[in-house]
Structure 1
Amino acid sequence: MTDITLALPFALPPAEMAPHLLRALQAPALAALLGRHSQQQLHSFTQHSRVLPHEAWLARTLDLVPSPITFQTGAPLAGACMRGCGLSAQAAAGHWLILQPAHIQVSSTHPSLADPRALQLDEADARALYDAARPYFEELGKPLLFAAPGLWFVRADDWAELATASPDSVVNQNLGDWLPEGDRARDYRRLQNEIQMLWHQHPVNAAREARGLPSVNSYWCWGGSSNAAPASAPTLAVSGGPSWLQALAAPELRQASVDQLLARPGHSVAVVADLIAPGQASEWAEWIAALQHIDQHWCAPLLAALKDGRVGRVHLMLSHRESWLEVISTKMAQRKFWRQPNLNLLKQA
C-alpha cells in the first residue's frame, strides 16, 4: 500500500495573522485532510535552534540523526547532499560543510543575511567566484568542491565541532546572533573575511550590480557532517526549494509531481518548498496564492487517492519558525461525515 508524507514548510501562519489569512484562503482539499484526521500532534521548537523545524524534521526523517536530538550545532545534511551530487567517495572521507555564496546586507542597526533565493547566481558567475576562492581554501588544507551555482562543499576536519546555522534560520535575523561558534570560529571568520575582500573587487560583482543584481559579497557554511550513508531512508521527492534540498532527492524526483508519487509503492516523502520564501518575507498575498496552488495540485489529488483506496495514509507536516504540526488522515477518517472540513488546526499552531 502506498503511504505519502507531504511536508509543507511555512504552511503554518503566525498566530497573530492566522484569523485574517484563513478567512481569505480557499483550500478545500487541505481543509478535508485537516478536518477529518485520525491523528494530530503539535510539536514546539526552540527559537534558538540553529535549524528550522522543517529542516530538523527532514534530518530525522532521512535517518541522518538519532532521535531525540537537539540541533544546537546544526543539522548534518552535507554528506547526504554530496551523495545526491555524485560525490559519495569524497563525502565518506572527512568532515564536510555546505558552502553557499551569499549576500550580506547592512541596515542602520545590524547586518543580515539576504535570502539566497534572490541571488539568481548563474553557472558562469558562480564558477568565476569559485575559481578565485578555491586557492584560499586549499592553502589551508580545505578542499572546495563545486556542485551547483548555489551549492558548494568544503572539507574542514578541524571545524567538526563548529556550531553553524542554516541560511533559512538566519534570513532577516541579526547576523551577529547566528555566526558560527566554537574553538575554530575565529579561523572561520578570518578566512571568510579574506574571501569577502577578494570578491568585493571581483569583476563578476561589478557586472552583477550593473544588471541590478545583489553582489555575492560573502558565503555561508552550515550542515556539517562526517556521517556515513544511512542504512535506509524513505523515497524523497522535492518541489521547489534551494539546490541543497534538491540534492537530497533522486534526480527524477527533484521537481516532482504528485502523480509520480502516486505511481510508487511503499512510503514516499514529498517536500513542497513554495511557501518558504513568502512566509519568511511576510508576503501574505503570495503565500495565499502559493498555498492555494498546493491545495489544487497536491492536496486534492492526494485526497482523491485516499478516498478511492490508492493511498492508505496521508501524513501532513506543516511548520513555521517555532513549531511543526503533524496530521494523519486515512480513508476511514474521511468517512467521518459529521466532521466538517476546516482549517482550524492552522490557528492552533
Structure 2
Amino acid sequence: MSQITLVLPHLLPLPEFAPDLVRALQAPMLASLLTRTNAHERSMAVDTARALPHEQWLARALGLAPDGEPAFAAAAMRGFGLDPEDGTWFIVNPAHVQIARSHSMMADLRHLGLLEDEGRALFEAARPLCEEIGRPLRYGDAQTWFLRADDWGHIDTATPDTVAGMDLTDFVPRGPRALAYRKLQNEVQMAWYTHPVNAAREAKRLPAVNAFWLWGAAAGGTRPAGEVTSFKAPGWIRALSQRKADSLDDIKGALAQDGLLYVGNLADSALAADWGTWLHQVQQLEDKLFAPLHAALVQGRVTKLRLVLSSRDGLAEFTTTAMAQRKFWRRPTLDRLI
C-alpha cells in the first residue's frame, strides 16, 4: 500500500475558459477523485510572484525554498552528476527572445527544440565568456546549464514558465548585481548572433537561440527532501527525479510506491492557450492515470492520494482515501476545477 502526491501543473484552466472546458470534459474518475475527498483547499497566486504556484509548492515540499524563493539549482546539478561544491549556482536556460514594437517576450522553452549537439556547441561558445569573469559554467543537458556566481545570490529572477509569453519588462532580473548579469548576457548574445548553430537553425526556419535565462539560485549544500517520479518535465525537474516515466503507461509502476509524482504534459498546451489540445491531453490522463489511481484507491493499493493542481493564477489541493471514495451521496463533478 502506498501514499501518493500527484502534482499536475495546469490542470486548473484559466477562469475565463474554465466553465466551457469543464463542460466539454468527460472524466468521471477525475470527478470522483476531486469530489469525494477528506479535505480540499484553494489559494490564489500573488501578482508579484516570480514562480508559478506549482513551482513554489514543489520547492516547499522538497525543502528547496530556504528563503521563501525556489532554489533548485544545486539539487538539479546533482541530478546531472555535477558537484555544486560550496558556491551559489543558478540554472541557465538558452532561450529565444522575440522583440516586438513595444516589448520583448521569451518563448516557451519547450518550443526551442534544441538538439544535444546544438546545445553543446552554444555552451562551448558561452563558457569562456563566463569563465573569464570568474563565473564557471557547467553543462547538464542541451537546455539546462549551471552558472556559479557567489555574489549574485540577491538577483531577483523568475522561472522560465512564469516568463513564457509574457512582457519581459515585468521580469527583468533586478538587484545590486543585475547590471553585471546583463553585461554577460549581451556578450553571450553577440557570440551567438553569427554562430553556425543559429545560422543552421534559421535556414530550417527554427527559432534562433539569442538569449539565456538565469534563475533558481541555490547554495551548494541544498538537497531535496523526498523522491520524485516525473513525466514530461523540464530538464531541471527530471534532474530532481529518481525515476523518470517515458510514457503514461510507465506511470502505473509508480502507483505501487510512496512518493511524489509530477506529470507535466499539460504545460505546453495551457501556456499556449491551445485548449483543444489541452482537452485531448486531459482525456488521455483520465484513461491512463485517473482511472488506474481510482481503482488503486478503491482496492486499497493506495491508502491516500493527494492531488496538487495548478494554473498560472492559483493552486488547489485535494486529499482522498478509499473511505472517502465510498461517499456515494456526493455526486462526482468537475466543478472544483473552476
TM bracket, shorter-chain basis? over 0.9
| Match among 305, 317, 339 for residue 330 of structure 2 | 339
Distance 1:70 1:343 in 2: 32
Distance 1:59 1:23 in 2: 33
Deviation of the 1:234 alpha carbon: 2.6
| Match among 237, 247, 261 for residue 245 of structure 1 | 237
Distance 2:38 2:59 in 1: 25
Deviation of the 1:65 alpha carbon: 2.3
| Match among 77, 81, 85 for residue 82 of structure 1 | 77
User: What secondary structure is seen at the aligned counterpart in 2 of 1:253?
Assistant: strand
AA at the equivalent of 1:41: E
Distance 1:346 1:184 in 2: 41
Which residue of structure 2 aligns with residue 235 of structure 1? 227
Distance 2:136 2:196 in 1: 24
Kindly indicate whether residue 50 of structure 2 is the aligned counterpart of residue 57 of structure 1. Answer: no
Contact 2:231 2:245 in 1 (8 A): yes
AA at the equivalent of 2:261: A
User: What secondary structure is seen at the aligned counterpart in 1 of 2:323?
Assistant: helix
Contact 2:245 2:251 in 1 (8 A): no
Alignment of 1:161-180 (within 5 A): 161-180=154-173
AA at the equivalent of 1:6: L
What do the CA deviations read for 1:231-257 (whole angstroms, capped 9, x no partner)?
A: x7232010102111111101x435373
Deviation of the 1:181 alpha carbon: 0.7
What do the CA deviations read for 1:68-105 (whole angstroms, capped 9, x no partner)?
A: x643xxx1000110111111xx3132000000000000
What do the CA deviations read for 1:158-216 (whole angstroms, capped 9, x no partner)?
A: 11111110000001111111011100000000110111111011111010011111000
Alignment of 1:297-316 (within 5 A): 297-316=288-307
Distance 1:44 1:79 in 2: 29
Kindly indicate whether residue 281 of structure 2 is the aligned counterpart of residue 290 of structure 1. Answer: yes
AA at the equivalent of 1:131: E
Distance 2:175 2:154 in 1: 7
Alignment of 1:47-126 (within 5 A): 47-66=47-66, 70-71=68-69, 75-87=70-82, 90-126=83-119
Which residue of structure 1 aligns with residue 127 of structure 2? 134
Superposed CA RMSD: 1.3
Which residue of structure 1 aligns with residue 25 of structure 2? 25
Which residue of structure 2 aligns with residue 40 of structure 1? 40
Contact 1:41 1:325 in 2 (8 A): yes
> Which runs of no fewer than 5 residues in structure 2 stay unpaired?
none
Kindly indicate whether residue 310 of structure 2 is the aligned counterpart of residue 319 of structure 1. Answer: yes
Which residue of structure 2 aligns with residue 263 of structure 1? 256
The number of residue pairs the alignment matches comes to 336
Alignment of 1:147-166 (within 5 A): 147-166=140-159
| Match among 192, 203, 221 for residue 214 of structure 2 | 221
AA at the equivalent of 1:181: R
AA at the equivalent of 1:343: L
Contact 1:258 1:301 in 2 (8 A): no
Distance 2:34 2:85 in 1: 41
Which residue of structure 2 aligns with residue 328 of structure 1? 319
Contact 1:36 1:339 in 2 (8 A): yes
Distance 1:173 1:21 in 2: 23
Alignment of 1:192-231 (within 5 A): 192-230=185-223
Kindly indicate whether residue 10 of structure 2 is the aligned counterpart of residue 10 of structure 1. Answer: yes
Distance 1:307 1:107 in 2: 53
Deviation of the 1:108 alpha carbon: 2.5
Deviation of the 1:318 alpha carbon: 0.5
What do the CA deviations read for 1:298-328 (whole angstroms, capped 9, x no partner)?
A: 1111110000000101110100112100001
User: What secondary structure is seen at the aligned counterpart in 1 of 2:140?
Assistant: strand
Distance 2:270 2:304 in 1: 27
User: What secondary structure is seen at the aligned counterpart in 1 of 2:182?
Assistant: helix
Deviation of the 1:227 alpha carbon: 4.9
Contact 2:256 2:302 in 1 (8 A): no
> Which runs of no fewer than 5 residues in structure 1 stay unpaired?
none
Deviation of the 1:15 alpha carbon: 1.3
Contact 2:37 2:321 in 1 (8 A): yes
4+ residue runs of structure 1 moved beyond 4 angstroms? Answer: none
Distance 1:263 1:3 in 2: 9
